[in-house]
Amino acid sequence: MNIAIIVASGGGSRAKTNIPKQYIKILNKPILQWSIEAFKKSGNFDEIIIAYNKEHEEFATPILNELNVKSVYGGETRAISVKNALDFAQEFNPKYVFIHDAARPGLDNEIIESIFEALENGNDGAMPSLVLSDAIWQIDENNCAQKSISRDILRRAQTPQAFDYNKLMTAYQHFDNFENALDDAQIAIAANLKIKLVAGKERLDKITFNKDFEKMEGHLANNIYVPKTGIGLDAHQFCEGEFVTLCGVEIPYEKGLKGHSDADAAWHALTDALLGAIGLGDIGQAFPPSDMKYKGAASSIFLEFAKNKVIESGAKITNVDVVIICEAPKIGPHREAMRKKTAEVLGINIKNVGIKATTMEKMGFTGRKEGIAAQAIATIIAPFE
Ligand code: MG
- Least trusted range by pLDDT, from 12-16, 223-227, 279-283, 356-360: 12-16
Q: How far is CA 327 from CA 73, 142, 154, 321, in A?
A: 57, 87, 75, 20
Please answer whether residues 207 and 216 qualify as being in contact, where contact means their C-beta atoms are separated by less than 8 angstroms.
Answer: yes
* Burial degree of 114 (CB within 10 A; 0-12, 13-18, 19+): middle
Q: Report CA(187)–ligand 1 centroid distance (Å).
A: 55
Report how far ligand 1's centroid is from the alpha carbon of 266 (Å).
8
More confident residue, 210 or 237: 237
**pLDDT (tens digit, 9 = 90+) per residue, 40-64?**
999 999 999 999 999 999 999 999 9
| CA of residue 16 to ligand 1 center, whole Å | 53
pLDDT at residue 293 above 90? no
C-alpha of residue 275 to centroid of ligand 1, in Å: 14
How remote is the CA of residue 351 from the centroid of ligand 1, in Å? 25
Angstrom distance (rounded) from CA 253 to CA 262: 15
Task: Using the mean position of ligand 1's atoms as its centre, give its distance from the Cα of residue 381 in Å.
Answer: 26
Report the chain's mean pLDDT, rounded to a whole number: 93
196 alpha carbon – ligand 1 mean position (Å): 52
pLDDT digits (tens, 9 = 90+) for 89-130: 999 999 999 999 999 999 999 999 999 999 999 999 999 999
Residues 243, 246: Cα–Cα separation, whole Å: 10
What separation in Å is there between the alpha carbon of 279 and the centre of ligand 1?
A: 19
Give residue 277 CA to ligand 1 midpoint distance, Å. Answer: 18
pLDDT reported for residue 182: 85
Using the predicted structure, report yes or no on whether residue 135 has a pLDDT greater than 80.
yes
pLDDT tier at 222, thresholds 50, 70, 90: low
**pLDDT for 295:** 80
Predicted model pTM: 0.59
Q: Exposed e or buried b for every residue in 196-210, given b needs 16+ CB within 10 A?
A: bbbebbebbbbbeee
Q: How far does the centroid of ligand 1 lie from the alpha carbon of residue 113, in Å? A: 40
Q: Could you tell me the distance, in angstroms and rounded to a whole number, from the CA of residue 200 to the centre of ligand 1? A: 49
d(CA 274, ligand 1 centre) in Å:
14
3-state secondary structure of 11: coil
Q: DSSP class of residue 295? A: T
pLDDT in the model for residue 208:
86
Centre of ligand 1 to C-alpha 161, Å, is: 47
